[in-house]
Amino acid sequence: MLSAFDDYPIHQTATPIAHPDTGDRNAYDRYWFNGFQDDGEFYFGIGAARYPNLGILDCGFSIVRDGEQHAFHGSRRAPLEPTDVSVGPFRIDVIEPMRRIRVTLAENETGISADLMFTARTACIEEGRQTLARSPRLIMDVTRFAQFGRWEGEITYDGRTVAVAADRVFGVKDRSWGVRPVAFPDPALAPEPPATTQVFFLWAPLHWPDRCTHLGVFENAHGRKWHTDGAVLPVYDDPADIPGAEDPRTEMLAGVEHHLSYLPGTRRAGAATIELVREGGEVEAVDLEPLLCFRMKGIGYLHPEWGHGMWKGELAIGGEMWKVADLDPMAIENQHIQQVVRATSGDQVGVGVLEQIAFGPHARYGFTELLDPAR
């Protein structure tokens, strides 16, 4: 089946672009964004993904503010044209590749709507390929890139309107594709032994006045890093000045480190320090102060009803709201989080997020079971 992309010289296999090069049911291609005001007043998350071998396109939009998190969810049969990223009232339009993207959510029955423009502040940073196998089975094989930017526009929810100003609202675009677990486990496969369930992931993209810094870490139960990303990126006031998809002035770091202080009774950091290690050995310590917590279930992650790649019919949308103070901090669906953080390095102050997932044992932080809380 041909699509609009087939008119460009971009093919990687002998098949049209609409046909993935794998038959794995967990193949996906995702847009993900966050946005946050510099004082932590609000955070919003956006996600949309196509699952070509499941025939599903789904999306989510969610905002946390004033002690409440509101969420829009959407799902449909995937259109035949892969450039069509729309689900009912929701759509993503690439205005200028790797420069500007527009996200709109038209008025709908959930009462949540938005019209937002993401404008790049940096070039993109390609993260290292993330590949994980357990025994002979491939669990994850993903390519990902991130880009820092600003947002402007407007969000409406529950009869309230939030102005999104480009001089105060920062964010990150994350594009990823490949294979990773989505929806329900394949019923034809033997179940994974509970003792092998373990994920420890930190992701900390930070905006500074004169640069952006990037950190990503996967670790096993013993605290050994099996994947690390770290970079310092130049920033640009005008996206037209960004030299290309990637910036030759981007500095790749030699390593990164983290020191978390967990809130008792949770697996959520109450404070953190990260270290950015340059190739010459210089270490920059950055203190992170959490300001606001966003549950990623608002855009489908670990959501029991609106999880990624779940067949909901030809077209389905839904909305929900919860009081942050009423959430069980140890419920499985509340473990994948992003916290807006104030970052401090010397006399410089920045803003960004600290994303956290911690399932299973992790010796360094004293976790011994699938989901025992910090003490």
Give percent above pLDDT 90 in the chain.
85
Q: What is the pLDDT of residues 164-179, one digit of tens each?
A: 999 999 999 999 999 9
pLDDT per position as a tens digit, 225-263 = 999 999 999 999 999 999 999 999 999 999 999 999 999
pLDDT of 128 over the 90 cut: no
Band of the pLDDT at 190, cuts 50, 70, 90?
confident
CB atoms within 10 A of CB 337: 23
What residue numbers bound the domain in which 222 lies?
23-182+194-365
Residue 41 lies in a domain: yes
Write phi, then psi, for 106 (nearest 5 degrees): -70, 160
CA–CA distance, 58 with 78 (Å, rounded to integer): 8
Residue 276 burial (CB count, 10 A): 24
Residues found in the chain? 375
Q: Residue 8: inside a domain, yes or no?
A: no
Q: What phi and psi values does residue 284 have, to the nearest 5 degrees?
A: -105, 115
Considering only residues 53 and 137, tell me which one the structure prediction assigns the higher pLDDT. 53
CATH number at residue 283: 2.40.370.10
Task: State the burial class of residue 261 (Cβ atoms within 10 Å of its Cβ: 0-12, 13-18, 19+).
Answer: exposed
Helix (H, G, I), strand (E, B) or coil at 287: strand
Q: Is residue 374 part of a domain?
A: no
What span, in angstroms and rounded, lies between the C-alpha atoms of 202 and 219?
Answer: 9
Q: Is residue 165 part of a domain?
A: yes
pLDDT of 191 higher than 80: no
Any domain includes 101: yes
The rounded distance, in Å, linking the Cα atoms of 284 and 347 is 12
The answer to whether residue 11 sits within a structural domain is: no
Residue 18 lies in a domain: no
- How far apart CA 270 and CA 262 sit, in angstroms, is 5
Neighbour-count burial of 2, counting CB atoms closer than 10 A to its CB (0-12 exposed, 13-18 middle, 19+ buried):
exposed
How many structural domains are present in the chain? 1
CA distance 144 to 355: 16
pTM for this prediction: 0.96
Given a cut of 70, is residue 108 above it in pLDDT? yes
For residue 5, being part of any structural domain is answered with no
